[in-house]
Amino acid sequence: MKTIFAILRLYWQHYPGWFMAGIGIAYVTALASITLMATAGWFLGATALAGVTGAVVFNTVYPGFLIRTAALTRMAGKYAERVITHDATFRFLARLRLYVFDGISQLPFRRLHDFRSGELLARLTADIDALDGIYLRVILPLSTAVLTCLALIFILHGFNAPIAFAAGGILLLALIILPIQAGKVGVRLGRRIAFTSEALRLRYIDLLRGQMELVMAGRIGDQVSSITKAASRIRDLQAELAAHDLKGRALITLAGGAALVVTLAMGALAFEAGNLSGPMVLLAVLSVFAMAELLVPIRRGLLDIGRVLYAGQRILPLMAEPEPLPEPCLFDLGPVTLKVDDVRFAYSKQAAPIINDLSFNLQSGEAIGIIGGSGAGKSTLLSLVAGLLDPQDGGILLRYDTYQDGRKPRLGLLTQRTELFRESLRENLILGAPDASSDELDDAVEKAQLKRMIERLPNGLEQILGDEGLGLSGGESRRMALARLLLYKPDLWLLDEMTEGLDKNTAQAVLETLREATKNKALLFVTHKQAEAELADKLLVFEDGQSWHIVERDQTDEWDRLVDGLR
Ligand SMILES: Nc1ncnc2c1ncn2[C@@H]1O[C@H](COP(=O)(O)OP(=O)(O)OP(=O)(O)O)[C@@H](O)[C@H]1O
């Protein structure tokens, strides 16, 4: 219930007018349907009776007018209701999508990594789409039916109170029992269907992504059978839902039928007693019949409620008011660009720390190379400095840049994995420097050793890349990232194995470029290579067991021993 209210509150906050207008128009349309049916019934009965009794004077003007007005109102109302409610709902969903996207983009980097591939996309697409059901398929038909039923009781009460209360009571009772029954089933089954559909989607993604590995390991059959299992579970659940749907239909038919029988029986008695004319009995019967029709759409919407709730529960936490971002922690550190102060970090509370009591300073114009065994925590340290991870203890301080109006020093991070977008090479390159001139762009391309590769492409810099940079080799992708950094001009360079995957000559040229570009800047880099270590003024050595020490260039023996140990 909390989820439903939270979503409705959001809807109401943004489109209160449309929200009420939709219900108002649906209500008027429902009343017009009942009026049309009831008046037509009364009119047919009354004209037949006039024919039988040979009445000479019979007023056809008012009933005719009422029938035409009701028919036109019903037609126009149905159209307006669809347009207004759907338009407002789609606008609401579009806005919701932005909020959810905002929420996702504010999530800490570590939380983002907890989501499996495709999960966030499902939140933004299928989950949000499912929310249209709450207003369109539950609130709208339910509130219209309740309001119309009350109006019917009120109007029938004017002609014959016992019929109004008996027939109206049965219909109102159905309006209470039906949502409870269908809602209960809907929540249970809808949730399971949504949950299993999610599992199916993720298994499909794994199958497509890991197709080659699964084939090589001879496990593709297992993956396919787990997909088939999930698909047949969904089919079973849907069959169960359809069976409940039938039960619901039976309940509605029963309630409508009971209300009709009661109206007919009580109408006949009232007719016998001379309290109600024949045409009025017909009017009562047909208006109850038309009212019973309004119960039908409620059932379907409520059976869907589980899916809607599941979707709502998954996206509402993502829209929680983002915590205000902390003010950038900038300090007057004198010539020091980066101060790492007694930092301790572990990936989880239970895990042993990867980085323990680490302290060092990095000055502008200085380069520190981080070396150590695989898994020692080198890349983790770069992520901590870049602000992608938070230390559990200690601090990472950045200097105000006194030359640049007290702004935060620009951080440039080159990770082992390059993010490239399905855009042109140019768009990918100017990501961090949208105002770069074409001379600057050419210069960066040349310095990153990309010129020859780009000249070979039919569209040069305008060549569109495939998903995730498809169309470039691993080494070319990394050089694209490097060119991007050259254009961005960071004050603090954070590089993770900068020449990995490059041939010797290209690696040498890239190192020269980096030496030049980082000359008066601060450089912190992870390396396993002797050639890269040449850039360093100091080495930060990560040893097993989370200990570390710093070696200066003038500690020649130790320095040579360490560098010789590299590739
Ligand atoms: N997101 C994560 N969650 C949990 N543990 C992680 C995560 N990322 C890395 N680790 C673990 O932290 C340790 C340090 O990883 P890190 O990538 O920093 O090592 P590294 O020194 O850069 O290794 P390499 O030289 O192989 O790149 C490893 O044991 C790794 O398994």
- Max avg pLDDT among 134-143, 455-464, 533-542: 533-542
Statement to judge: residues 181 and 276 lie in one domain:
yes
Query: Which ligand 1 atom is nearest residue 113's CA?
Result: 1
Q: What is the mean pLDDT of residues 23-41?
A: 92
Distance 375 CA to ligand 1 centre (A): 5
The residue whose CA is least distant from atom 3 of ligand 1 is: 347
pLDDT averaged over every residue in the chain: 87
519 burial (CB, 10 Å; 0-12 / 13-18 / 19+) is exposed
pLDDT score at 247 = 87
Q: What is the pLDDT of residues 92-105, one digit of tens each?
A: 999 889 888 888 88
Distance 352 CA to ligand 1 centre (A): 12
CATH number (domain holding residue 413): 3.40.50.300
The residue whose CA is least distant from atom 16 of ligand 1 is: 377
**Closest to 285 measured CA to CA, from 320, 259, 313:** 259
Among 319, 341, 374, where does a domain finish? Answer: 319
Statement to judge: residues 447 and 480 lie in one domain:
yes
Statement to judge: residues 87 and 180 lie in one domain:
yes
- Coil/strand/helix, residue 566: coil
Residue 378 beta carbon below 6 angstroms from any ligand 1 atom? yes
**Closest to 449 measured CA to CA, from 519, 505, 497:** 505
pLDDT score at 153 = 94
With a cut of 90, say whether residue 146 has pLDDT above it: yes
The residue whose CA is least distant from atom 27 of ligand 1 is: 374
pLDDT score at 403 = 61
Confidence band of 32 (pLDDT split at 50, 70, 90): very high
Largest Cα–Cα distance of the chain, in whole Å? 126
Q: Are 447 and 479 in contact (CB under 8 A)?
A: no
Statement to judge: residues 259 and 405 lie in one domain:
no
Does residue 196 form part of some domain?
A: yes
Statement to judge: residues 225 and 114 lie in one domain:
yes
Q: Mind spelling out the 3-state secondary structure of 6-55?
A: HHHHHHHHHCHHHHHHHHHHHHHHHHHHHHHHHHHHHHHHHHHHHHHHCC
Backbone angles phi, psi at 415, to 5 degrees: -95, 180
- Least confident stretch, 122-131, 141-150, 371-380: 122-131
Domain carrying residue 410: 330-564
Does residue 147 form part of some domain?
A: yes
Statement to judge: residues 408 and 350 lie in one domain:
yes
The residue whose CA is least distant from atom 24 of ligand 1 is: 374
Statement to judge: residues 252 and 163 lie in one domain:
yes
- Going by DSSP bridges, is the β-strand pair 522-526/538-542 parallel, antiparallel, or unpaired? unpaired
Confidence band of 418 (pLDDT split at 50, 70, 90): confident
Statement to judge: residues 372 and 301 lie in one domain:
no
The residue whose CA is least distant from atom 31 of ligand 1 is: 375
Distance 482 CA to ligand 1 centre (A): 23
Side chain identity, residue 110: R
Statement to judge: residues 305 and 348 lie in one domain:
no
Tokens 């010129």 belong to 451
Distance 381 CA to ligand 1 centre (A): 10
With a cut of 70, say whether residue 402 has pLDDT above it: no
Q: How far apart are CA 180 and CA 145, in angstroms?
A: 15
Q: What is the pLDDT of residues 207-241, one digit of tens each?
A: 988 888 999 999 999 999 999 999 999 999 999 99
Does residue 424 form part of some domain?
A: yes
Q: How many domains does the chain have?
A: 2
Tell me the best of 114, 347, 495, 498 to mutate to test the pocket of ligand 1, counting ligand atoms within 8 Å of each CB and taking the most: 347
The residue whose CA is least distant from atom 18 of ligand 1 is: 377
- Coil/strand/helix, residue 69: helix
Q: How far apart are CA 556 and CA 552, in angstroms?
A: 8
Return left, alpha or beta for 322; rule: phi > 0 is left, psi -120 to 50 is alpha, else beta: beta
Residue 348 beta carbon below 6 angstroms from any ligand 1 atom? no
Does residue 498 form part of some domain?
A: yes
Residue 384 beta carbon below 6 angstroms from any ligand 1 atom? no
The residue whose CA is least distant from atom 7 of ligand 1 is: 347
Statement to judge: residues 334 and 295 lie in one domain:
no
Distance 393 CA to ligand 1 centre (A): 19
Q: What is the pLDDT of residues 348-385, one digit of tens each?
A: 888 888 999 999 999 989 999 999 988 889 999 999 99
Residue 374 beta carbon below 6 angstroms from any ligand 1 atom? yes
With a cut of 70, say whether residue 328 has pLDDT above it: no
Distance 441 CA to ligand 1 centre (A): 34
Distance 252 CA to ligand 1 centre (A): 60
The residue whose CA is least distant from atom 2 of ligand 1 is: 347
Q: Are 447 and 486 in contact (CB under 8 A)?
A: yes
pLDDT score at 320 = 65
Q: What is the mean pLDDT of residues 399-428?
A: 80
Statement to judge: residues 220 and 135 lie in one domain:
yes
Does residue 325 form part of some domain?
A: no
CATH number (domain holding residue 119): 1.20.1560.10
Among 270, 297, 319, where does a domain finish? Answer: 319
With a cut of 90, say whether residue 495 has pLDDT above it: yes
**Distance between terminal CA atoms of the chain?**
62
Does residue 324 form part of some domain?
A: no
Q: How far apart are CA 284 and CA 159, in angstroms?
A: 9
- Going by DSSP bridges, is the β-strand pair 492-496/522-526 parallel, antiparallel, or unpaired? parallel
Residue 389 beta carbon below 6 angstroms from any ligand 1 atom? no
Q: What is the pLDDT of residues 36-91, one digit of tens each?
A: 988 888 888 777 776 666 655 566 677 788 899 999 999 999 999 999 999 999 99
With a cut of 90, say whether residue 527 has pLDDT above it: yes
Does residue 66 form part of some domain?
A: yes
Tell me the best of 354, 392, 525 to mutate to test the pocket of ligand 1, counting ligand atoms within 8 Å of each CB and taking the most: 354
With a cut of 60, say whether residue 322 has pLDDT above it: no
The residue whose CA is least distant from atom 10 of ligand 1 is: 347
Statement to judge: residues 228 and 346 lie in one domain:
no
Side chain identity, residue 68: R
Query: Which ligand 1 atom is nearest residue 526's CA?
Result: 22
DSSP lists the bridge partners of residue 362 as 338
Query: Which ligand 1 atom is nearest residue 376's CA?
Result: 21
Confidence band of 274 (pLDDT split at 50, 70, 90): confident
**Which tokens hold the place of 171?**
């219909």
In this prediction the ipTM stands at 0.97
Among 284, 319, 354, where does a domain finish? Answer: 319
**Which tokens hold the place of 63?**
């009933």
DSSP lists the bridge partners of residue 523 as 367, 493
Distance 370 CA to ligand 1 centre (A): 14
Q: What is the mean pLDDT of residues 427-448?
A: 90
Residue 380 beta carbon below 6 angstroms from any ligand 1 atom? yes
